[in-house]
Structure 1
């Protein structure tokens, strides 16, 4: 007789421990939550333009004092300000626009941030949820629109999704140096959010360590080199003193990207100048003769001015940037603030190699270059030679000035002639190279560092792009000095067309009276026709601590090596 198993009654099912429990947290509206989340992440400003899809957020901004709202004249200017602030401070910056044309106008400034890996969060109002995907006025799929410049873009579909969405976007922007976008339908701003804002965790700032093995392998490469060159970019700002020590230990020539010019003493015998057409011939010569090039926090590699075949080592905390656009012998992923001091200590303990022939070559090459640019910068005449303008700016800029440089032939003249001081900072539209960058960048710099001298330098073609933001500077009582080099042309394009034998259609422009426009905006505006007038007006403007535009009549001459 077979036995039949006896089944015991099923055990009762246990519900998840948090089932049915309300999410903890103070009740906040979407608008209130956004601002509290940004406050916890130490956001100090939001740059934006008003529109019907962001009125609720502006209403909440007006009720608090932790985050300052900067009302701009154009969304493109607002995004450029956010991009410049992120470049200058390394912190997350925020810009704001409404739906449709508002978000579309942001794109140019967001592209600048994206190309230069600057952490920017864009907040965009959107049409009501009931009109999403319809032919409603000012509706566009913002996620598709921004896809080329935003690394991550999200649409808020429900208030309860906001805590997770915002944290993900903020973390991504800050850790990856990327642009992110959050679209908020205007009917959701008043919705109640369940959940608490997330603090900015200290783990987000933990440095990325390279192993001791990597350090030792690089030391061996360096010790074997007879003709080393250091190419430094803005990523090496935190280790400028150690870089100088390494260069002197190795007798290495030093070349900088434009934003990194202040990171190495420009009067040092090892300093060869900038890189590319905007840099120096000396840097190209020494790079072509080097047997080892060590790139520290730099990614700029202009093909016409660098060796085709070279032993190159690149150190960067962004692994994606290593080896892009140039040959690579060895790549090392690591935070330069951790890696370079170890490298410096290790090299200091090693026996010195005799590189006196290379040192003599570096001195000869750099000295010859410096004599040449000094002669160029001393030239005079009417209109004022651009080289002379750059020399006078260098002479009058303070030790810790921030210089915002626009795009165009003036960028090349600046990098060719300007001799930077160690505590200065240079802001440029690096890879996007948009016209109109200088003025919004200067506004952001003065807001971030109210006690520092801020000088914007633009050509006439760039000035007209964002000129109404000068009224923003006046409204915010910012003592920036904006130098507009007026040569009556899109000079870079004009000279390219001339070099190629083209018709110069569109390259010559009829300009407004820039000085009068500055005065109409409520600031000071002056005109300089000679170098003496320019020097006097610049000195007076810097001393006045008032928003001032100096229109300098500038000679339209081609930069050496100009070709299309």
Structure 2
């Protein structure tokens, strides 16, 4: 068989270990999809929307640590990839996008569906190029893949529709040398950081995803310094389970213990994190930051010592220079606060919370219709899910409930649009995750707004018989936007959603649908969803007025809610 441009690309992807290519078929991609059809070990996954394809490819890349691949045909097909590719770029995970293009002779002539892909993807891609001759292969493919992997970003390779079935004169296979250097700071930087920490009194660690591969070293650091460990959301995976130092998250989704651990420290040590919310950093302490990317040092808060290097290698060099803390009161106080807060959260998550005592009084104020509390739903899922489950979460309130009520112990994994903050990511990321790990449980925490945005790819889940469990927090609202409006004193506006019965929609598509409207049915329904083979959509009507109190609530926020509620009452009184 002749080795066409399309076969050069597909053979190289298969050799790299890529098992799935996500996209929507189209004329410019026909040579490529036909090459996939005839190649063992790599499968075409036809999605209903290219945005879902890009999210799925990004999910596989994040889970595997290797290249994810998606494709979009000429013009609109490639445009639709853009949001999912931005998510991959912001997540710093390698994804190769193959974009179709008009015939070579028509380039630059405003041909039907022609889009300048090199311009379109300029901001999102670390590398982009258009193949204009078959003889540029495999060299141009090698450059794109090397860029994506070495820079942990998106590479876009555009292939005109009439080049895919042409033969390059160079028939050698593509080659991808792989090197993973480990870097650490010089000795003077190590000693400077050690001196600062040793003189620093109470130490708190802020740990991010960049430290995930250095768990043992981070745990040893926390023990030596008797330091409470505040986790970013992306560090829940790897650091939350079996960790006597962690005190949860800070920020709007955080808790008072984490806020206190930060605000009361004399020295903050940041490990592999670019936590973006400046208002939540302590202001009266020394700061040491360790990050592989030198450009991250001091970007969010001023640092006294910044060390550019691999977190694990740097800590291995740093630990011998650190004194053992004799006073554990800072850690003990933070942990007590965290345990007290956790006990209160468990009370909120009790399915019978609204039936007695303060819960009954609370429900009379904020849950008169008797909807399911989202805390109870998240806690029930946490109890049923396996120890190696992969969770995905939509941006918004679904992530708040996951962060507070799902514990990432064992081999659990977590994906979300935590840097881009896109809607509609959870379901397509779950699609990619389930294909990557067919024998593991995959659970998507879906907001009703996010699910409905890319609802069509439920059919992809059905078509490929993926046993994903889709948990829909159906509060008939864009809940996070509602919260944002009200905390600034604005009346809720434009956030209400006139939803269908999502369980009935799933059933019509051939997916098991379960709808929960009564809190008394919650536990049994969640257990049934997880016990049912194949894909299941669990549509749970949750309380739209639920508040997630941040770790450091302000008087201004409280006043904003009060003003907003008055405005909303007045609106209803005028029939609006």
Fold conserved between structures, TM > 0.5: yes
> Residue 112 of structure 1: SS of its match in structure 2?
helix
Q: Which residue of 1 aligns with 2:453?
A: 465
Query: What is the Cα deviation at residue 269 of structure 1?
Result: 4.2
> Residue 415 of structure 2: SS of its match in structure 1?
strand
Cα gap change, 1:30 to 1:271, in 2 (>3 Å): same
Q: CA RMSD in A?
A: 2.0
Please, which of 269, 272, 293 is the counterpart of residue 247 of structure 2?
A: 272
Render the CA deviation track for 1:512-536: whole Å, top value 9, x for unaligned: 1211111122211111123442322
State the alpha-carbon separation in 2 of the partners of residues 278 and 216 from structure 1. 35
Contact map agreement 2:28 2:100 (CA 8 A) in 1: yes
1:340 aligns with 2:315: yes
State the alpha-carbon separation in 2 of the partners of residues 336 and 351 from structure 1. 19
Unpaired segments of 5 or more residues in structure 1?
A: 1-25
Contact map agreement 2:514 2:529 (CA 8 A) in 1: no
Query: What is the Cα deviation at residue 171 of structure 1?
Result: 1.0
Cα gap change, 1:194 to 1:229, in 2 (>3 Å): farther
Contact map agreement 2:126 2:153 (CA 8 A) in 1: yes
Q: Which residue of 2 aligns with 1:199?
A: 175
1:315 aligns with 2:290: yes
Cα gap change, 1:322 to 1:165, in 2 (>3 Å): farther
Cα gap change, 1:311 to 1:530, in 2 (>3 Å): farther
State the alpha-carbon separation in 1 of the partners of residues 482 and 240 from structure 2. 34
Contact map agreement 1:262 1:422 (CA 8 A) in 2: no
> Residue 306 of structure 2: SS of its match in structure 1?
strand
Q: Which residue of 1 aligns with 2:495?
A: 507
State the alpha-carbon separation in 2 of the partners of residues 405 and 76 from structure 1. 16
1:558 aligns with 2:547: yes
Q: Which residue of 2 aligns with 1:369?
A: 341
State the alpha-carbon separation in 1 of the partners of residues 406 and 169 from structure 2. 54
State the alpha-carbon separation in 1 of the partners of residues 98 and 284 from structure 2. 45
- TM-score w.r.t. length of structure 2: 0.89
Contact map agreement 1:225 1:291 (CA 8 A) in 2: yes
Query: What is the Cα deviation at residue 295 of structure 1?
Result: 1.7
> Residue 53 of structure 1: SS of its match in structure 2?
helix
Please, which of 14, 29, 35 is the counterpart of residue 10 of structure 2?
A: 35
> Residue 28 of structure 1: SS of its match in structure 2?
coil
- TM-score w.r.t. length of structure 1: 0.90
Of structures 1 and 2, the larger Rg is shown by 1
State the alpha-carbon separation in 1 of the partners of residues 508 and 40 from structure 2. 30
Q: Which residue of 2 aligns with 1:453?
A: 441
> Residue 73 of structure 1: SS of its match in structure 2?
coil
Q: Which residue of 2 aligns with 1:173?
A: 148
Render the CA deviation track for 1:262-292: whole Å, top value 9, x for unaligned: 3224564422111211121211111111122
Cα gap change, 1:396 to 1:531, in 2 (>3 Å): farther
Q: Which residue of 2 aligns with 1:526?
A: 514
State the alpha-carbon separation in 1 of the partners of residues 259 and 318 from structure 2. 26
* Corresponding pairs, count: 535
1:190 aligns with 2:190: no
State the alpha-carbon separation in 2 of the partners of residues 453 and 341 from structure 1. 35
Please, which of 89, 108, 111 is the counterpart of residue 136 of structure 1?
A: 111
Q: Which residue of 1 aligns with 2:55?
A: 80
Unpaired segments of 5 or more residues in structure 2?
A: 355-369, 561-576
Render the CA deviation track for 1:414-467: whole Å, top value 9, x for unaligned: 213333214211111011111111011111111111221110001111110122
State the alpha-carbon separation in 1 of the partners of residues 487 and 307 from structure 2. 41
Structure 1 runs (4+) deviating above 6 angstroms are none
Contact map agreement 2:260 2:334 (CA 8 A) in 1: no
Please, which of 306, 331, 334 is the counterpart of residue 359 of structure 1?
A: 331
